Structure 1
Amino acid sequence: MKLKRILVILNIVFLLIFLFGMTALAAGSGDVAGAVESTWNDASSQIKTVVNKVVFPAIDLILAVFFFAKLGTTYFDYRKHGQFEWASPAILFSCLVFTLTCPLYIWTILGM
């Protein structure tokens, strides 16, 4: 019974792969590198826009929240122990500055 169930599931998976799988062929000449390069050239501007408008702001927001939360906990540790630890807030602040300025120069480094 268990073997029959596994075979049915396996057949369904193979059927779905067969139905929804597509073969990617290079146009006429068989130049796969050219096909990949033209696809990249078409999509690179869209990728750049999405990264600049979605990815970097999301990372900035997360880092800003972590920075201010860590700054608050560090302050409370200072009040409790009398010693202020600068390492973790400084690292989070430098990462935040890096990601805020990153869209200005990252695309020239990547050659886009």
Structure 2
Amino acid sequence: MTKLKKISLLLCFALTVVLMYGITAHAAGSGDVAGAIEDTWNDASDQIKTVVNKVVFPAIDLILAVFFFAKLGTTYFDYRKHGQFEWAAPAILFACLVFTLTAPLYIWTILGM
């Protein structure tokens, strides 16, 4: 195939994909785009809240807990080796862990949801 045919075939394919996946958004006949966006947000906000509370926060909590206990262990071994216990890193990880464990209780009122 010539280079021109390959380019035209690629452009036709790209145009077909764009037309297949391009969706026109309508504002419910009245032309109120802001209202359509608000309605969509109101419908999706409960689902977003549920996913964040049940998936995102527990995943972050798990990661921080693993890092906290790993850092606590390495800090203890440094204490055994050098005789000085460094509290900064475990304290920061513990504060972050407490923050993310309690965040679902108050984060939604701060965000106004």
TM-score (normalised: structure 2):
0.90
Give the number of aligned pairs.
Answer: 112
TM-fit CA distance, 1:14: 2.4
Q: Which residue of 1 aligns with 2:67?
A: 66
The separation in 1 between residues aligned to 2:92 and 2:11, in whole angstroms, is: 50
Residue 57 (structure 1) aligned with residue 58 (structure 2): yes
The separation in 2 between residues aligned to 1:79 and 1:3, in whole angstroms, is: 72
TM-fit CA distance, 1:77: 1.2
The separation in 2 between residues aligned to 1:79 and 1:4, in whole angstroms, is: 72
Q: Which residue of 1 aligns with 2:16?
A: 15
**Runs of 4+ with >6 A deviation:** none
| Root-mean-square deviation (Å) | 1.6
Structure 2 unaligned runs (5+)?
none
- AA in 2 matched with 1:21: G
- AA in 2 matched with 1:93: F
TM-score (normalised: structure 1):
0.90
Structure 1 unaligned runs (5+)?
none
Q: 1:69 to 1:28 in 2, by over 3 A?
A: same
TM-fit CA distance, 1:2: 6.1
